Amino acid sequence: MEWLHQNTLLGDEDLNVFRFKPGECIILELSRQLDRQSSSRSRVLKSEEDWKAWLKQAASAKVEKKRHGTTVLLAKRVTNKPHDGMVVSHLPVPQSMFGSIINAFSIHRSISRVINRNTSAVFSAQSVKDRQTGNSRLVYNCRSSASYPDDLALSVTFCTKIRSTQAVFYGCSEERIRIITRRLETSDCAVFHPLTLPTIFAEIERDRQIQMVEKALNKLITRVLNVVNHPLRFYSTSPCEKSGISQGSDDSNSIELWLNISHIKNGLETWRQQLLEMLTHADMLSEKYFSSGAGDTNEATVANIATVMPCQQTTDDKLMNGVGKRIKYRLRELVCIMDGMTLATQMEWSKIAQLDAKTTIDISHSALEIAKAARYDGIQMKSIAILTMIFLPATFVAILLKTLFSMTFFNWNHDADKSTVSPYIWVYVFYTFRLRAPGHIYVARGLRRPTRVELLRMAVVSGHKGPMRIVSQEPTRQMTPC
């Protein structure tokens, strides 16, 4: 009870994380003795009366009976929602009894923070000491990522003096309960190592991650094959496009798949780092508590314990190393498939760029043909303009002279002794050329004036380097260096 004053157990402020709903829990009690036969017992608790009876029995148990024992509370999942990120915080226990359960299982308050931070996998280890008895306890918290279904949490408290373990699994499914129970009851270990339950947790998380990786890899491989076997889908006319249905959902699915794979990859790397920390902590336990040279001051030497514990730790280390290798292998698979997806996407965009370039060239050829046709039209318009410049002034003069002076230059119905052309025809010719001359002079100067392109060509031929400036002067334009 002194722990409550040291704020090491769950307090009232930590209970805000949890939700309580009456349900079914399984308590598994195992005993491993070096000089006696091992025993195991499981019990199902549903009602408040069941909890009161078990708590009374646990409180009256002798210390020697708890030595080298393990008590595990398996809390079933209390919700059937497809996916709830805080499902492990829903406990199937009466809220009025939870304070007694905290004391019975020595649940450390750090588990509330671990459960609340559900975005990534966590393994934490710390040592706390009871100020009243001076006994040291090892506290472990494990949490799998809640980004995907079937997440799990675990809190373990190991008493180094009597080598007893109290643990709680949060959010266990029926399958998980069977796996944990079978692994503990069929264990051939003489005594349980403090990291036995975290190792079981790591194996369960390994199986969960393998299923996630294989499912995501199958989708990604299918996507890569679709990109490789059906390239340039943006340029093909599919039935969806013909019916007016957009293919935006296909692109969004690809982006979602890519983000999902990246998230799984980051989660695997995080969990692998947690496993490395678990192995480092196991080495520390071997040196501090279970080595043959450890003294009584460390509460570690009991007859034959220094021999039994390292054997089991070696087994646990092998299991965790195996889990780490599997995760590393899956990480390589993810990286390989993601690189393949990147390569396939780049190839598709390269083909699209080639088609775009070909389309641009075709457009350029069409533009060139249009320019040639426009040039031909310009030549025709120029001819029409010249004819207009010639005949329009002459017509104007003819009308003007006929109107003002009533002159008739041609006499088509003449007598034999009269001329056909009027002697004043020179007036018509004079004024016609007089009106046409300024226009012809202006056009002639414009034709002789070099264009901007010709000026640039002349500058290149002359070998000038640097920017050029076109200076407009009359009657011609010049280009001078800047």
Give the mean pLDDT of the chain. 73
Q: How confident is the model at residue 466 (pLDDT cuts 50, 70, 90)?
A: low
| pLDDT for the residue numbered 325 | 64
Kindly state the helix (H) or strand (E) to which residue 167 belongs, with its residue range: strand 164-172
Residue range 32-71, pLDDT digits in tens: 665 555 677 888 998 889 999 999 888 887 766 777 788 9
Distance CA 331, CA 324 (A): 10
Distance CA 432, CA 155 (A): 113
* Burial profile 317-345: b = 16 or more Cβ within 10 angstroms, e = fewer: bebbeebbebbeebbeebeebbebbeebe
Tokens 């119905």, residue located: 413
Name the residue among 41, 307, 40, 277 with its Cα closest to residue 193: 307
What Rg do the C-alpha atoms of the chain give, in angstroms? Answer: 47
Kindly state the helix (H) or strand (E) to which residue 63 belongs, with its residue range: helix 63-66
Distance CA 165, CA 95 (A): 24
Cis peptide before 94 (omega within 30 of 0): no
Q: How confident is the model at residue 99 (pLDDT cuts 50, 70, 90)?
A: confident
CA dihedral 360, 364, 369, 372 (to 10 degrees): 170
Residue range 297-352, pLDDT digits in tens: 444 444 344 444 444 555 555 655 665 566 666 667 666 666 766 666 676 677 77
Residues 6 or more apart in contact with residue 280 via CB below 8 angstroms: none
Q: Is the pTM of this model over 0.85?
A: no
Residues 6 or more apart in contact with residue 45 via CB below 8 angstroms: 24, 25, 26, 27, 51, 54
8 Å CB contact between 21 and 98: no
Residue range 240-289, pLDDT digits in tens: 444 444 444 555 666 777 777 777 778 778 888 888 888 888 878 777 76
